[in-house]
Amino acid sequence: MSTTSTSHDDIMQVGKVMRAPKTAELIATHLRRQIVKGELTPGETLPPEVQLMSQYGVSRPTLREAFRILETETLISVRRGSRGGAQVMQPDISVAARYVGLLLQISGTTIDDVYEARKVSEPECARLLAKTRTKQDIADLQSCIEDLRKVVEAGTKAVPDPSRWSGLTYKFHELIMQRCGNKTLAVQGAVLHDIVTTHLELSVATKFDQGDSSERFQRVIKAYEKLVALVEAKDGDGAAEHWRKHMDVAAKYLFQNDLKNKPVVDLFA
């Protein structure tokens, strides 16, 4: 029969790994769980500090430390003063994008690398959307296309305003991800898209300034129309293949210069 001895150093090491959470972290965890479960909804104001201090049996500094944790996660917004208080907020995808962006920065990830990941997930979202689409999904996609047409028509020499064009194309991609029926893919795709949005806006604006032709914008609109037709026909394979090709073409246009190797870190500087 053998015995296993545990050294003092081993115990200390385990102690470091299994650090007991601080009281403020426990309070933040409890409130976070209530928000996630829907027991606390966006726009709802939390009870007064005095009431929460009594409920949790903590001091004001400890409670405010818990608030700061939730504020950094954009789960609450705290206003000071006589009419102040902590109000529950709708979680923002940009917060997740920033954290993921930080991890990508550390590994030296480029914009092109992130876009490659999008080219894997987004066509799959298009495939799923074709299987689950509703009349409202089709109507919203078509409405976005109509808005793109209006932006092109309102542009100078048929070249649309870069900010409005980028915003609407972002919305179209977002609809594909949000309506695909898979929440995990939707969030993942939104995070990746949000990370490269700043670069895409700068890239598009630069090319618009160089006098891009209206024909290119019309081709984009036609590509969007074809996707909607495939989705409406419930052709999942066709939708995925078409969207993959469209994103390949878009990549050649957006990343045809040194910007394709631009580090993600530059987006968060």
pLDDT given at position 112: 83
pLDDT band at 227 (very low <50, low <70, confident <90, very high): very high
User: Is pLDDT at 128 greater than 90 in this prediction?
Assistant: yes
pLDDT given at position 84: 73
User: Is pLDDT at 107 greater than 60 in this prediction?
Assistant: yes
- In DSSP notation, 117-132 reads HHHHHHHHHHHHHHHH
pLDDT given at position 156: 58
Please write the tens of the pLDDT for every residue from 141-191. 999 999 999 988 876 555 677 778 888 998 999 999 999 999 999 888 888
Please write the tens of the pLDDT for every residue from 50-93. 999 999 999 999 999 999 999 988 899 998 766 778 999 987 77
Question: How many Cβ atoms from other residues are within 10 Å of residue 106's Cβ?
Answer: 10
Domains in the chain: ranges and CATH = 21-88 (1.10.10.10), 94-255 (1.20.120.530)
Q: How many CA atoms lie within 13 A of 183 on its CB side?
A: 0
Helices 214-232 and 236-254 cross at an angle (nearest 10°) of 160
User: Is pLDDT at 259 greater than 90 in this prediction?
Assistant: no
Q: What is the pTM of this model?
A: 0.71
The residue whose two tokens read 């631009």 is 262
